[in-house]
Amino acid sequence: MAWLEALFGLKCPGCGKSLDSSGLCQDCRAQLEWQQAYGILFLGSYQRWGGLSRSIKYGGKRDVADLIAQEWAKGIAYHRWRLAGVTAVPTLPHRQIRRGYNQAELLGRALAKAAGVPYQNVLSRVRYAPSQTQRTGVSKASLPAGTFVPRQKVSGAWLLVDDVITSGTTFRLARKALLEAGAGQVYGACIAVKSSKALQDLS
């Protein structure tokens, strides 16, 4: 309810201005546009769209996730990706318990619904590492090789969702596990990327 959000003085997670519509302000909605590089859909830089990621990661903003998913679905339709399903980069159980959800899964389920394809939790995370937001430099590229493992077999093309691509290491390891699960091809989707080099390294 946009009038209720305005009444309580809630701010747009995209730009910090007062909300004049549900989830995102009208200006941010107008700028919301999918991009694609190296088989990965994204909205733009973390500097511009990082607030959307934080609103979902720490606030569980499902209305924002739905808006993002609708934009990604346009990219899927444009490129005519024939997907067998959508899955998400898993988080560790204690993080999911603390928040009550996995933000990547929240986005993935919203995308599956928007694109009309099944959602499944195909991967498990079995190795601990500090959050990427708490890591810098070389440490971001040093996740253990067995961080993710398949929990079931799949086939066909799959789309792997994460909220942000920072160094690309997390996505790369999750993609490897999804291929080990049997996926013939893995596309990706994220809200924002922190550097163009991270995308290039995923090619």
Give the span between the Cα atoms of 194 and 103, in whole angstroms: 18
Q: What is the mean pLDDT of residues 179-200?
A: 96
Better-predicted residue by pLDDT, 97 or 52: 52
- Reported as a pLDDT band with limits 50, 70 and 90, residue 3 is very low
Residues 91/126, Cβ–Cβ less than 8 Å: no
pLDDT band at 100 (very low <50, low <70, confident <90, very high): confident
Per-residue pLDDT at 143: 85
Quote the CA–CA distance of 134 and 127 in Å, as a whole number: 17
Q: pTM here? A: 0.89
> Is residue 129's pLDDT more than 70?
no
| pLDDT of 4 higher than 60 | no
Q: Cα separations (Å) of 200 from 79, 89, 114, 172?
A: 19, 19, 27, 12
For 3, the token pair is 């009038």
pLDDT tens figures, 62-81: 999 999 999 999 999 999 99
Q: Are 165 and 92 in contact (CB under 8 A)?
A: no
16-20, 58-62, 143-147: least confidently modelled range = 143-147
Query: Who contacts 112 (Cβ-Cβ below 8 Å, separation ≥6)?
Result: 85, 86, 118, 119
- Please report, as a single letter, which amino acid is at residue 75: G
Query: d(Cα 178, Cα 164) in Å, to the nearest integer?
Result: 18
pLDDT exceeding 90 applies to what percent of the chain?
A: 79
Q: What mean pLDDT comes out for the span 105-126?
A: 97
Q: pLDDT at residue 202 above 70?
A: yes
Instruction: Look at residues 6, 17, 52, 16 and name the one whose alpha carbon lies nearest to residue 32.
Output: 52
